[in-house]
Structure 1
């Protein structure tokens, strides 16, 4: 933070020294930088930024809309609620470049076909946006992020409407599919996203909405031109500034969701089979399963109704993570529960069936890593129905 404030101070001082106007020279160049995916969930979708280069004025700066405000009060609570403001960042290009090279992430540049006045408008826009009173914006992963900001700013400063054409080999996809393309389906990040985000992201994104991903900003910008003059392309030059070095990929299957949940499912099925053979029930296992599924259901409901996240609505993971399971725990502690409890267990089986239908029909896609656990849950519920009916 201190470095950024010092940078801004030096910048404004340099631009205003000796009465010089805050203007770019005719040689100024504006580029969009597209950063490739990183190796953590937070970096898996890439990044976008503006580069303002003017060797006459001695300016080579990068502005990007993707900085956490760690000094914000109740940072983690606001992050969970979807109410956290993000900031526009400012770096020297050399520092920005070295940072992503050290992370072994590809950097691509697209020089924009802007008039001198448009370049100046964009520079003024970014400088004004960087002022402390203007730096923050309410982040939304799908509709207002580091990539969509690039598109929106360019449209705002352009003197002519921009036509974003469909790139070659473009295929319309759902938001979830676009996310999955950047993650291993059998990864903990994919499981977390598929549990937390609801069916609203299983609709097909419009061509314009595809630009929430930095790589699609790159693709759509490359195909864009001016509506008034289709011969005037938005991008006049493209280059790969740094190409990441390929590294050996670790398998990691042993620690993957399918492996871990598969092991848990085998334990559940083994205990269930043993209970069936011995005509008994292991109540501790049922209490654990009902507690976990109920608590996950509470988490999903909170994301749906108690946050401002747009992607967590209409989440049918509630069909397996059923909140009322928490209330039913006392029945599991009894040798002979209430007669209606068997009907409740049958209801849970119906919910799992409905979940399967939702998946097949395409209403919502669920995490493949959970499949072993869901099968084990269904088998356990069927056993409990059989067990209680036998007691009666």
Structure 2
């Protein structure tokens, strides 16, 4: 159903624009792909190692892997890893924690800094009672395992921790996949083991980064949905087993079966032993699938609105085509509510993706295929959504303005069709299957509803 106010010339221009988009798709696909391969933090050399004060006897020093379950905060959903160092030479017992940051600005500041790629985390050292007390207040399970290291390996790890405690090395730029509290422990252990941990875990895992993000944020569906929309195709490659150890539980799982260089009774023993449950709580429960909620909240109302279409005769002073909605008082208010929600969500997602591309250091927020679907300019549709919601009828606009609005909707539809093609063929290099299945049909249907019934072009009458 194409309104009569859309000229044939405008339609041709739009089709030419679609042809250009389709012609560029292969190039966009190649441009959007990031080089595959392991990424991560490269350990710098330990300077002035001879000035580090070492324990008298490393037989009296033990290292423990501390693994903390996921929590209820946005920044806790991957879990946490720390190192406990017990030195009986000096009767010290300390926990090294790379997960400290300044939360004083609240969620808004954290989100803005996250988008900008500015996340200064730091190493902190505290007694076990203080550290474990915090996790108890947060109701997060904690496991502790003794690390079986040779004295030479203990010395290497001890020197690295002492280097990290220097004032110039305490703060680091957090990267959620490649340099976090868990990868610091992983990398330091790998250094102590002479690179053996990484060398034996180069095989690809079964999961992509996106799989792990969606799995770990299942307890907060809105965050899971938003991350799925806002992160690009960089996170759609399969991780190596080494990269997968950015997750605390995965690092512990790998080390539980990893052989150490320590022998007992002539046999090499496992890297971890003496497993201890420090505390145990029920982990957060997965919420409903956000895409199922979108299907019910978006597509079903749109289908009902499409079923409410009916033909009418042209009004005397209107160029509105002969299509309107049955029971307009209710139908237009449903359309208005949908319009407000879609304009808000699409516009905000579009703004975040645009900002992330232009101003963020996070490469995973650049060149996002979902910008074809969510536009920052959609926020301007809020006004029309509110008018439909309050008035219960089509918005009266001039014929010229209505043509412009219809052209905007057509451009949206053409971009959505390009998105569909790229998603189905894989040319976009980004996993968008859930959006194609659960979101795109509703957005296209809503665009058709608004196109046909949303605006009433009123002719101006001149009196001579």
Q: TM-score, normalised by structure 1?
A: 0.76
How has the CA–CA distance of structure 1 residues 327 and 37 changed in structure 2, closer, same or farther, with 3 Å as cutoff? closer
- Is 1:114 the equivalent of 2:149? yes
Query: In the aligned structure 2, how far is the partner of 1:167 from the partner of 1:243?
Result: 33
Pick the aligned partner of 2:74 from 38, 41, 46.
41
Pick the aligned partner of 1:206 from 240, 249, 269.
240
User: How big is the shift at 1:196?
Assistant: 1.8
Asked if 2 retains the 8 angstrom alpha-carbon contact of 1:195 and 1:367, the reply is no
How has the CA–CA distance of structure 1 residues 309 and 252 changed in structure 2, closer, same or farther, with 3 Å as cutoff? closer
User: How big is the shift at 1:287?
Assistant: 6.7
Who is 1:240 aligned against? 276
Asked if 1 retains the 8 angstrom alpha-carbon contact of 2:55 and 2:89, the reply is no
User: How big is the shift at 1:128?
Assistant: 3.2
How has the CA–CA distance of structure 1 residues 354 and 222 changed in structure 2, closer, same or farther, with 3 Å as cutoff? farther
User: How big is the shift at 1:150?
Assistant: 0.8
Who is 1:195 aligned against? 229
Query: In the aligned structure 2, how far is the partner of 1:213 from the partner of 1:333?
Result: 55
Asked if 1 retains the 8 angstrom alpha-carbon contact of 2:402 and 2:455, the reply is no
Asked if 2 retains the 8 angstrom alpha-carbon contact of 1:80 and 1:307, the reply is yes
User: How big is the shift at 1:53?
Assistant: 1.1
Query: In the aligned structure 1, how far is the partner of 2:302 from the partner of 2:56?
Result: 68
- Is 1:383 the equivalent of 2:449? yes
Who is 2:100 aligned against? 67
Which runs of 5 or more structure 1 residues have no equivalent in the other structure?
1-20
Aligned residue runs from structure 1 range 115-194, under 5 A: 115-158=150-193, 160-164=194-198, 165-166=200-201, 171-184=205-218, 187-194=221-228
SS in 2 for 1:208: helix
User: How big is the shift at 1:142?
Assistant: 0.9
Pick the aligned partner of 1:318 from 371, 380, 403.
371
Who is 2:127 aligned against? 92
Asked if 2 retains the 8 angstrom alpha-carbon contact of 1:101 and 1:242, the reply is no
Query: In the aligned structure 2, how far is the partner of 1:99 from the partner of 1:387?
Result: 57
Asked if 2 retains the 8 angstrom alpha-carbon contact of 1:113 and 1:236, the reply is yes
Tell me the matched-pair count: 366
Who is 2:417 aligned against? 353
SS in 2 for 1:52: strand
Who is 2:19 aligned against? none
SS in 2 for 1:311: helix
Bigger shift: residues 183-192 or 354-363: 354-363
Asked if 2 retains the 8 angstrom alpha-carbon contact of 1:110 and 1:237, the reply is yes
Deviation per residue, 1:82-109 (Å, 9 max, x gap): 1221001211112222332343323223
Query: In the aligned structure 2, how far is the partner of 1:323 from the partner of 1:153?
Result: 43
Who is 2:320 aligned against? none
Query: In the aligned structure 2, how far is the partner of 1:151 from the partner of 1:325?
Result: 44
SS in 2 for 1:79: helix
Aligned residue runs from structure 1 range 218-257, under 5 A: 218-225=252-259, 232=268, 235-242=271-278, 244-246=280-282
How has the CA–CA distance of structure 1 residues 259 and 143 changed in structure 2, closer, same or farther, with 3 Å as cutoff? same
Asked if 2 retains the 8 angstrom alpha-carbon contact of 1:151 and 1:217, the reply is yes
- Is 1:23 the equivalent of 2:59? no
RMSD of aligned Cα (Å): 4.1
Asked if 1 retains the 8 angstrom alpha-carbon contact of 2:232 and 2:369, the reply is yes
How has the CA–CA distance of structure 1 residues 71 and 196 changed in structure 2, closer, same or farther, with 3 Å as cutoff? same
Deviation per residue, 1:192-250 (Å, 9 max, x gap): 211221111111112221111111211232343479x9x7566141513235244895x
Which runs of 5 or more structure 2 residues have no equivalent in the other structure?
1-52, 313-322, 326-331, 385-394, 458-464
- Is 1:303 the equivalent of 2:361? no
Query: In the aligned structure 1, how far is the partner of 2:259 from the partner of 2:67?
Result: 19
SS in 1 for 2:162: helix
Query: In the aligned structure 2, how far is the partner of 1:156 from the partner of 1:285?
Result: 57
Query: In the aligned structure 2, how far is the partner of 1:323 from the partner of 1:247?
Result: 37
